[in-house]
Amino acid sequence: MTERLKAPVDCTTREDVRYEIDRIDNAMVELLAERWQYVDRMWQIKNNAAEAVVPWRIQAVIDNVRKRAGELGMPPELAEALWRQIIGWAIQYEEEKLRAREASPSTDKTTD
């Protein structure tokens, strides 16, 4: 992430705050795009659409995100809501890709 120019307490104008929020938003998009590359790889490794939902893994991710958010002063409920949305999109994407592959018998699956 790019270096913070001003701490929140040092922002004295709306423009200062907006600049920092925009800077953080750009960094978040970069990290989410990187995360998405791993989501895209995961469906290629899985065997079928039934493997898209892994309840224990979802809960582990949520627990970790809630814990980390709390440590950083962010409402854990907000972090959970955001990650549940991200996870939901990832699951839907994996299911669509895996179903399409299942419907195309000539496609080889990448193995572990």
pLDDT digits over 31-83, tens only?
Answer: 999 999 999 999 999 999 999 999 999 999 999 999 999 999 999 999 999 99
Instruction: Share the mean pLDDT of the chain.
Output: 93
Which of 30, 27, 34, 33 has the alpha carbon at shortest distance from 3? 27
Domain residue limits, the chain? 8-103
pLDDT score, position 107: 54
H helices of the chain, where?
14-45, 55-71, 76-103
Note the pLDDT of residue 42. Answer: 97
Does the pLDDT at position 112 exceed 60? no
- DSSP SS3 for 4: coil
Q: What is the architecture of the domain spanning 8-103?
A: Up-down Bundle (1.20)
Phi, psi of 41 (to 5 degrees): -70, -35
